[in-house]
Structures are given as C-alpha cells and as structure tokens.
C-alpha cells in the first residue's frame, strides 16, 4: 500500500527562479534556498503567500491526484508534512499584503489596531513585519497571522485533493 505525500515545502528550483518563490527577511534580503538530507528537492520553503507559488502548488497536487486516484494501492493523501509556520518566516511583498489584510479584517480600522497595540501607525500599509528589535506584541500579532495563513494554505491543498478524489482520506 502507498501513501502519497506531496512535500510542497520542498519546491523545485524553477519555483524560486520563475515565480520569485523565495522567502524574504523583514530587511528585504532574500533567504537562500537549497536542499538537504531531509529536503531533497530543489529548494526549501517557498513563499505560499505568493499567488503564483500557490497556484502552481495546487496545479501540481491536482495533476498528481488525477494521475493516481484510480490506483487501488493508495491508502490516503498526505497534503503537508509537519505543517509549520513558514509564513512567519517570510516578509516579502505578498506576505506583508496578507498580514496587513489580516490586521484590517481583525481590527477594522488602523485606529482600533493602534488602540489595541499602543501604537501610532497612520495606515495599515505602514505596518511592517516584526524584527528582533520590535515588541513582543508585534511578534504576537505576526504569529497569529501566521497560524491563520498556514490554515488557509492547508485548506486550499485539501480542497485541491478532494476536487480530484473525494473518496480517500486526507491527512
């Protein structure tokens, strides 16, 4: 019997090169990618906040399920190996946009965010990714967003699998 595990957090090189799938630090520097013993394909940890990266991840998942769904030896689909907070490790323009949208949805107005956080941001667009020099509250909000984002990624991949094979379990 077989369990198919997609291991999306290990993308081929073209994801980083053609779709600018790399993750970025809050200072704007690119986090390098390479494989290692446990992460054996292309690069490690592309940014799934990048719409092109997620689009191609979903396409890969759907094509894989479509190809193998009729194989009776498949026990289930494993959509993500050890889900971790990868989004919290990226501060690219896509991640910042997602973070700011999260804050807008959570607080409604920048004034309410400022009241909660004891800050004086003039707009959601002025909110930046936290660094080690910011407050615990900045990191707390960033990590909350990271959990929401990771959940969104898992739901999208789950939906892609179920769209092609509604009968098998998904882990």
Sequential pLDDT tens for the chain (171 residues)? 999 998 888 888 888 889 999 988 888 888 876 665 555 555 667 899 999 999 999 999 999 999 999 999 999 999 987 776 554 578 999 999 999 999 999 999 999 999 999 999 999 999 998 876 568 888 889 989 999 999 999 999 999 999 999 999 999
Report the alpha-carbon distance of residue 131 to residue 128 in Å, rounded.
9
Report the alpha-carbon distance of residue 61 to residue 71 in Å, rounded.
16
Residue 85: closest CA among 158, 13, 23, 11: 23
Report the alpha-carbon distance of residue 10 to residue 15 in Å, rounded.
10
Both structure tokens of 44: 């490690």
Per DSSP, the three-state class of 138 is helix
Beta bridge partners of 78: 5
> Which residues fall within 8 angstroms of residue 90, CB to CB, at 6 or more apart?
23, 24, 31, 45, 47, 49
Indicate the burial class of 105 (C-beta count within 10 angstroms; 0-12, 13-18, 19 or more). exposed
Report the alpha-carbon distance of residue 101 to residue 23 in Å, rounded.
19
pTM > 0.85: yes or no: yes
pLDDT digits (tens, 9 = 90+) for 83-92: 765 545 789 9
Both structure tokens of 74: 């498949």
pLDDT digits (tens, 9 = 90+) for 25-61: 888 888 876 665 555 555 667 899 999 999 999 999 9
């Amino acid at each position: 019997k077989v369990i198919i595990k997609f291991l999306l957090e290990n993308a081929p090189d073209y994801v980083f090169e053609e779709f600018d799938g790399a993750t970025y630090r809050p200072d704007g520097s690119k986090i390098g990618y390479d494989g290692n013993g446990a992460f054996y394909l292309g690069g490690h940890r592309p940014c799934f906040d990048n719409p092109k990266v997620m689009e191609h991840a979903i396409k890969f998942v759907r094509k894989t399920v479509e190809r193998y769904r009729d194989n009776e030896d498949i026990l289930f689909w494993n959509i993500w190996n050890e889900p971790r907070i990868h989004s919290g490790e990226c501060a690219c323009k896509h991640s910042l946009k997602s973070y700011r949208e999260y804050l807008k949805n959570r607080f409604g107005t920048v004034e309410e965010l400022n009241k909660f956080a004891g800050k004086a941001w003039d707009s959601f667009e002025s909110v930046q990714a936290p660094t080690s020099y910011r407050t615990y509250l900045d990191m707390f909000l960033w990590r909350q967003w990271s959990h929401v984002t990771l959940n969104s990624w898992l739901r999208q991949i789950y939906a892609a699998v179920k769209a092609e094979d509604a009968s098998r379990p998904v882990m």
